[in-house]
């Protein structure tokens, strides 16, 4: 075995400077573009397979965003509404509202599992807390339209008449 090891050539030197330059350039680029998992995603116990739509749609904003997720629980297979807000200050106000009937230990969470009645109350409170809030519906593509129809009715009632469907880009 020892015989196969190449003798290190004395005085051989490979200039790695350009390599290091490029490596660090790419490293800084990826470090700055990296987006880490938000609190919402950490608490989420289901995975959403989004439907695809053609291009020419706009991107989702980062702040002032209320997301209504309709997901299918991967363990129980139940469909439910999940509500989350991007701003922490709004979250505190809206989640602690007495108009929303949820158990107190749930109010500390980032993402709330709610029924349609509480969702409507949440939407209304959100509208009151922050008028610039935008609404996004992030639903699994397998769910029935009934869930969307009920949600749209709730949004109409709480005056959140403009909203966005979250989709994936078509390849």
Closest CA to 63 of 140, 152, 159, 130: 130
Shortest distance (Å) from residue 51 CB to other proteins: 4
User: Which of 1, 16, 75, 131 contacts other proteins by CB under 8 A?
Assistant: 16
Contact between 128 and other proteins by CB under 8 A: the answer reads no
Question: Which residue, 131 or 144, has its beta carbon nearer to other proteins?
Answer: 144
Contact between 140 and other proteins by CB under 8 A: the answer reads yes
Q: Residue 154 in contact with residue 116, Cβ under 8 Å? A: yes
User: Which of 4, 56, 74, 103 contacts other proteins by CB under 8 A?
Assistant: 56
Closest CA to 160 of 126, 116, 129: 126
User: Which of 54, 88, 98, 103 contacts other proteins by CB under 8 A?
Assistant: 54
Give how far Cα 146 sits from Cα of 67, 101, 153, Å: 18, 23, 11
Contact between 53 and other proteins by CB under 8 A: the answer reads yes
Radius of gyration of the chain (CA): 24
């Amino acid at each position: 075995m020892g015989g196969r090891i190449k003798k290190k050539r004395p005085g051989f030197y490979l200039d790695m400077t350009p390599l290091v330059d490029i490596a660090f350039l790419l490293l800084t680029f990826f470090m700055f573009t990296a987006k880490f998992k938000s609190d919402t995603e950490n608490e989420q116990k289901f995975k959403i397979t989004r439907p695809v739509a053609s291009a020419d749609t706009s991107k989702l904003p980062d702040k002032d965003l209320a997301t209504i997720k309709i997901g299918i629980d991967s363990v129980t297979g139940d469909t439910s509404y999940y509500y989350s807000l991007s701003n922490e200050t709004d979250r505190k106000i809206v989640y602690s509202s007495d108009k929303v009937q949820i158990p107190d230990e749930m109010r500390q969470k980032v993402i709330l599992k709610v029924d349609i009645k509480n969702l409507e109350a949440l939407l209304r409170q959100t509208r009151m807390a922050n008028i610039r809030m935008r609404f996004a519906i992030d639903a699994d593509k397998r769910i029935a339209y009934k869930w969307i129809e009920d949600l749209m009715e709730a949004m109409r009632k709480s005056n959140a008449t403009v909203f966005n469907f979250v989709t994936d880009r078509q390849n």
